A and B are shown apart, each in its own frame.
Chain A
Amino acid sequence: MSEFKTRLHSVPSGGFLTDRDKDKKPILDVRELGIDFGGLTAVDNFNLMIGRNEIAGLIGPNGAGKTTVFNLLTNVYQPTRGSILIDGMPTAGKKTYQVNRMGVARTFQNIRLFKELSVIDNIKVGLHESMKYNLASSLLRMPNYWKEEKKCTERALELLDIFHMADLANTQAGSLPYGAQRRLEIMRALATGPKLLLLDEPAAGMNPSETAELTETIRRIRDEFNIAVLLIEHDMSLVMGICEGIAVLNFGRIIAKGTPDEIRDNPQVIEAYLGKKEG
């Protein structure tokens, strides 16, 4: 346990944990994570710890391996090396859906909604596990089917209200505008009741005012749902605006960790980005 404590202070997401999260078990503890595709090492020696209520950022140039990290955290890819602890529980050997039930929900860089379903049904799919009735109840329309479905509808509408989308409940998800699709994906992830929310470029394709609103909403989600958020984002105004700790990834390795201010002035980070831009 003492060793654990020292690690806790040595490798949190931003090189520190905020006072708020210091005494609690971290929600995510990744140690020495790595994956090889064939002979290519996509991610290596990845260490990250995220506090219970932290909003953390994972940034880096294109192709740095950020989305691969998300895929590793949700066991879409099985890691070659290292371990992932969600709330202290190892995820090794678990399926993606089991990792979700352990408390990790995510969104996707290339939006993956259930396009043919209505907005509310998308959310209800997220609520799937929280509904307690079996196949027989639904086939015979038993009382608990009606009760649970009613509860589920109410809960889904509540969630939709976070982004003020309740009046779009019966719209087909695929026909929503781009920004609304991104927001719906976040709500669907929230519906699964996560302790850690992974957002893959949530502000992509949004204009500055939408991004500002999203920033506020992410903060509100963290506070209301009492969860941690890890986000990948290229929009620096969003990252610098809400992240308490930031990790910078380049060529599959973490090159810097720190607070937004530390990252902004870090010469290695500037080189990674500018080198990319000019090169």
Chain B
Amino acid sequence: MHDSSTTAVHEHHGEAHVAHNPALLHHFAEEQQQRNAASLGMWVFLATEVMFFGGLFCAYLVYRRWYFGDFAAASKSINMAMGATNTAVLICSSLTVVLAVWAAQTARRTLLIVSLILTMLLGMVFLGIKGIEYRDKFVEHHVPGASFSFENEPIPGHPGEYANPRHAQMFFSLYFVMTGLHALHMIIGLGIFTWLLIMAWKGRFSPEWHTPVEIGGLYWHFVDIVWIYLFPLLYLIDRHA
């Protein structure tokens, strides 16, 4: 992922800087500058991610307004309990990420490694639950495509009215695209954290230099926050009724 390229340790021009921290790349004057650059780079990257998901949120909100009843009916069919569990899992993983950053800042190597492993475990639990949800949708023929079927599903709050399968299919299209892209980001996050774990295992991080943990953590928090928006939008439509 992008942040890993910004902060790797080895650089060809390192010989000239033997007196410095080996993590300091040749074109930076000092460590502070390098850390600020890496951190700003991740924030800017996250801004592009906001726009990336923003296009999807925009499309979703337009159709949610147009086809509210159909979307509510389709939303009823996805498993709110699993979604809520996943929300809790991700919030816990945010805590372990913060612990990891703190452990790196305060040179607690064991805590750092444990927190990274816990974060990755929670990420995998999330993906596992997501996988079960996807499997259920396949079984129920709720995956858009030739075998899609959503007949005679009542619209909540409107007795005797049934959802238009086409419009429900749009809900499921957006559901799969949005949660699928989110899951892809989770998988990339797992890749980043695997790399962080290897680096932590080798004892590369110190209170002076732990930028990768910080910006990897930023990325993970961002992916969590996307889910915090996805969960109510996709799972909780019309729950008050």
Verify that A and B bind, or say they do not: no
